[in-house]
């Protein structure tokens, strides 16, 4: 556990002022958010059961790279149970949480978000990542009392994965892709074609000076897309070239669907990988659950054939997810350019 990480997890308990290591120069107050009331200037809410869902999803992915999905079929109670268990985990004493710190190169476990290494200042957040069952870590945390946490997290991932397979079908079919080759990720014929998933619980404690802190620095996700349940507390903002930073106002029961870098590649640049960040507040502890839908670990991801016929040359060369995440961890903003054709 390096000292920075140790400090980070001890800082959150009711400090009166923001430690300097958490004061960001380009703070939210420097790059303000447009608190738009015009619904044209905010990411759309899409009823995915709507007959015109295909065109609504396509338009949202092309213009914004993000939309809020409703009528997705996952009960609100499951989100509430997941949030409850996440709060139980993050409310544990720091020493206990540090027992299963995520390894520097690892993905699962407790600690700072992975991109923290790319920034000079610390983010006002902590997280816990898992792939499938969290029992390995949870049993260390709560030797006698980890069953409910594991059951809820596993059930949550099962439901989210099923929804992802529906959504990826809508996205690809909205691009006119219907043949076997293009549907292998959501109608896998064999295990190697099966997409992978990663669940990240994010915790943003109450902050004494939210305008000078950063909950989660601006980034794009290295996923095909990410399903995000942000609970009822504001914080997520997306960047729109024409407008600047825009709040994604929480809609009860809605799931934020944000396009990731890999769907941007697969769609040959048509779907936008949305830049987003999280700002914190001084009254409520915000929890979010981010479910990353990923291609199989070694799948060679490249623009889908059907999108590069005729006058559309491929914009990106093929890359595996592992290669891409490695490239990105070196330089967040140049990863896509590094594979540009």
Ligand X SMILES: C=C1C[C@]23C[C@H]1CC[C@H]2[C@@]12CCC[C@@](C)(C(=O)O1)[C@H]2[C@@H]3C(=O)O
Ligand Y SMILES: O=C(O)CCC(=O)C(=O)O
Q: Which is nearer to ligand X, 114 or 270 (CB)?
A: 114
Q: Which is nearer to ligand Y, 182 or 221 (CB)?
A: 221
Cβ atoms of 306 and 267 within 8 Å: the answer is no
User: What element of type H or E holds 147?
Assistant: helix 147-174
Place of tokens 């914004």: 64
SS3 content of the chain, % helix, strand, coil (to 5): 35, 20, 45
Question: Which of the residues are catalytic?
Answer: 286
Segment lying near Fe ion (by CB under 5 A), choices 133-141, 151-159, 215-223, 292-300: 215-223
Q: Which is nearer to ligand X, 56 or 163 (CB)?
A: 163
Residues 6+ apart with CB under 8 A from 304: 172, 175, 177, 182, 266, 267, 268
The answer to whether 115 contacts ligand X (rule: CB under 6 A) is yes
Q: Could you tell which of Fe ion, ligand Y, ligand X, none binds residue 114, using a CB distance below 5 to 8 A set by kind?
A: ligand X
Footprint (CB under 6 A) of ligand X, residues 256-315: 292, 294
Smallest separation (angstroms) from ligand X to the CB of 132: 13
Q: By CB under 6 A, how many residues form the interface with ligand X?
A: 15
- Extract the tokens encoding 64: 């914004």
| Strands 33-34, 225-229: pairing kind | unpaired
Using CB under 6 A as the criterion, what x/- string covers residues 201-220 for binding ligand X?
------------------x-
Under DSSP, the state recorded for 95 is: H
Distance CA(173)–CA(167), nearest Å, equals 10
Q: Which is nearer to Fe ion, 213 or 290 (CB)?
A: 290
Q: By CB under 5 A, how many residues form the interface with Fe ion?
A: 1
Segment lying near ligand Y (by CB under 6 A), choices 206-214, 228-236, 260-268, 297-305: 228-236
Under DSSP, the state recorded for 2 is: -
- Extract the tokens encoding 121: 């200042």
The answer to whether 159 contacts Fe ion (rule: CB under 5 A) is no
**Neighbouring-strand partners of residue 47:** 70
Q: What is the DSSP string of 174-220?
A: HTT--SGGGGTTTS-SSGGG--EEEEEEEEE---SSGGG--SEEEE-
Phi (first) and psi of residue 101, to 5 degrees: -65, 145
Among 43, 65, 111, 129, binds ligand X (CB under 6 A): 129
Footprint (CB under 6 A) of ligand Y, residues 244-283: 276, 278
The answer to whether 230 contacts ligand Y (rule: CB under 6 A) is yes
The answer to whether 328 contacts ligand Y (rule: CB under 6 A) is no
Distance CA(22)–CA(211), nearest Å, equals 11
Q: Which is nearer to Fe ion, 127 or 138 (CB)?
A: 127
Smallest separation (angstroms) from Fe ion to the CB of 110: 18
Q: Could you tell which of ligand X, ligand Y, Fe ion, none binds residue 198, using a CB distance below 5 to 8 A set by kind?
A: ligand X
- Chain residues in the site for Fe ion (CB under 5 A): 221
- Chain residues in the site for ligand Y (CB under 6 A): 200, 202, 216, 221, 228, 230, 235-236, 276, 278, 288, 290
């Amino acid at each position: 556990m390096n000292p920075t990480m140790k400090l980070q997890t001890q800082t959150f308990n009711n400090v009166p002022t923001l430690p300097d290591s958490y004061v960001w120069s380009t703070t939210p107050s420097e790059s303000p958010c447009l608190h738009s009331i015009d619904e044209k200037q905010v990411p759309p809410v899409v009823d995915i059961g709507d007959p015109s869902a295909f065109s609504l999803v396509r338009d949202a992915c092309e213009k914004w790279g993000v939309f809020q999905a409703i009528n997705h079929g996952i009960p609100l109670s499951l989100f509430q149970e997941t949030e409850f268990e996440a709060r139980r985990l993050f409310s544990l004493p720091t020493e206990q949480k540090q027992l299963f710190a995520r390894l520097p190169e690892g993905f699962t476990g407790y600690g700072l978000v992975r991109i923290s290494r790319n920034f000079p200042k610390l983010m006002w957040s902590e997280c816990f990542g898992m792939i499938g069952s969290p029992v390995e870590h949870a049993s260390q945390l709560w030797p006698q009392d980890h069953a409910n946490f594991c059951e809820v997290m596993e059930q949550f991932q099962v439901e989210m994965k099923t929804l992802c397979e529906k959504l990826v079908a809508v996205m690809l079919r909205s691009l006119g892709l219907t043949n076997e080759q293009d549907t292998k990720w959501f109608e896998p014929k064999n295990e190697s074609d099966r997409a992978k998933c990663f669940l990240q619980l994010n915790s943003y404690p109450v902050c004494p000076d939210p305008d000078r802190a950063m909950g989660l620095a601006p980034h794009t996700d290295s996923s095909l897309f990410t399903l995000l349940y942000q609970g009822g507390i504001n914080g997520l903002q997306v960047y729109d070239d024409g407008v600047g930073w825009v709040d994604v106002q929480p809609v009860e029961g809605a799931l934020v669907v944000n396009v990731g870098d890999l769907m941007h590649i697969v769609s040959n640049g048509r779907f936008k990988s949305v830049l987003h960040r999280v700002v914190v507040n001084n009254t409520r502890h915000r929890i979010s659950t981010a479910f990353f839908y990923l291609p199989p670990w070694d799948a060679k991801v490249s623009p889908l054939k059907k999108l590069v016929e005729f006058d559309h040359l491929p914009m990106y060369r093929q890359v595996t997810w592992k290669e891409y995440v490695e490239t990105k961890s070196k330089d967040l903003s140049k990863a896509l350019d590094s594979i540009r054709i």
